[in-house]
Amino acid sequence: MYDKNNVFAKIIRGEIPTKKIFENDYALSIEDIDPVATIHVLIMPKGEYTEIYDFVSRASDIEQKGFWEVFQKTAELMGLKENFNTLTNSKKPPFFVQSVPHFHLHLIGGERKKELHKW
Q: DSSP assignment of 19-69, as one string?
A: -EEEE-SSEEEEE-SS-SEEEEEEEEESS--SSHHHHHHHS-HHHHHHHHH
- pTM value? 0.89
Does some domain include residue 1? no
Does some domain include residue 29? yes
Does some domain include residue 71? yes
Does some domain include residue 68? yes
**Is 104 an annotated catalytic residue?**
yes
Does some domain include residue 30? yes
The count of domains in the chain is 1
Does some domain include residue 94? no
Query: What pLDDT digit, counting tens, does each position of 26-82 carry?
Result: 999 999 999 999 999 999 999 999 999 999 999 999 999 999 999 999 999 999 988
CATH code, domain carrying 53: 3.30.428.10
Burial class of residue 81 (count of CB atoms within 10 Å of its CB; 0-12, 13-18, 19+): exposed
Q: Which of 40, 102, 104, 106 is catalytic?
A: 104
- The pLDDT of residue 92: 63
CB 44 within 8 A of CB 107: no
Domain encompassing residue 64 = 7-87
pLDDT at 83 over 70: yes
pLDDT at 119 over 60: no
Max Cα–Cα distance, the chain, nearest Å: 37
- The pLDDT of residue 7: 95
- CA–CA separation, 31 vs 40, rounded Å? 6
pLDDT at 118 over 70: no
β-pairing, 37-45 vs 84-87, is unpaired
